[in-house]
Amino acid sequence: MKIDRIALPSVEELRALFQYNPKTGSLIWRDKPPTSRTNKRFNTLFAGKEAGTLESWGYIQIRINGKLQMAHRIIWKMVKGQEPPDHLDHKDGIPSNNRWKNLRESSTQSNVWNSPIRSHNTSGFQCIYPTDLRTPGPNKFLVQMSVKGKTKRIGYFPTLEEAQAAYAAAFAKYRDIAFKR
């Protein structure tokens, strides 16, 4: 699936604007040539400082030429010298951690599987949802996951431990499907 994105500037322009530190994951504004009053003001305010704003959803955004861009996509283009793929994943699940070793190309599926536990999930475990605990019956936990864009119901289980075991088995079974690109 192709995602419409605002085009990033050229690699040369990005490298002229930023210095990237792969160990910290930060982009630092470079000095602009002091040929205009605007550039001199920019240098006074921003040059040598970390670029971007940490947004409420956890990603770092940077305004370039009046357009907001995602820092991890800028970094990908600067390091690889090519347009970033539609989906980039932060391996540790922390969207502000833009260290090069933490970024990887991914599919929609692997990006979903590497996302944090949903706010409505009260079990504390990925893909395991408590059913109505007031209802009598043996099956108290539902295990379901997304596989190839479809919700796959693994089953209902009487204990959290059994649900975790079922999830682990299903994850092992479907993982190769999810992480193939």
The predicted structure's pLDDT at residue 86? 83
pLDDT digit string (tens) for 85-108? 888 888 888 889 999 999 988 755
Q: How many domains does the chain have?
A: 2
d(CA 125, CA 117): 7
Q: Which of 63, 89, 105 is the last residue of a domain?
A: 105
Burial readout 23-59 (b: 16 or more C-beta within 10 A, e: otherwise): eebbbbbeebeeeeeeeeeebeeeeeeebbeeeeeeb
SS3 119: coil
CA-wise closest residue to 18 among 4, 38, 5, 32: 32
Q: What is the CATH number of the domain that holds 33?
A: 3.90.75
Q: Are residues 70 and 21 part of one domain?
A: yes
- The residue assigned the tokens 């550039």 is 39
d(CA 34, CA 122): 55
Q: Is residue 151 part of a domain?
A: yes
63-77, 93-107, 143-157, range with the lowest pLDDT? 143-157
Q: Is residue 25 part of a domain?
A: yes
pLDDT digit string (tens) for 124-147? 777 888 887 666 667 788 888 877
Q: Are residues 151 and 98 part of one domain?
A: no
Per DSSP, which regions of the chain are E strands?
18-21, 26-29, 53-54, 60-64, 67-70, 88-90, 103-105, 128-130, 141-147, 150-157
Q: What is the CATH number of the domain that holds 175?
A: 3.30.730
Q: Are residues 118 and 40 part of one domain?
A: no
Q: Are residues 153 and 74 part of one domain?
A: no
pLDDT at residue 30 is higher than 60:
yes
Mean pLDDT of 116-120: 64
Q: Is residue 90 part of a domain?
A: yes
- Domain containing residue 152: 111-179
Q: Which of 62, 83, 105 is the last residue of a domain?
A: 105
The predicted structure's pLDDT at residue 1? 44
d(CA 49, CA 26): 10
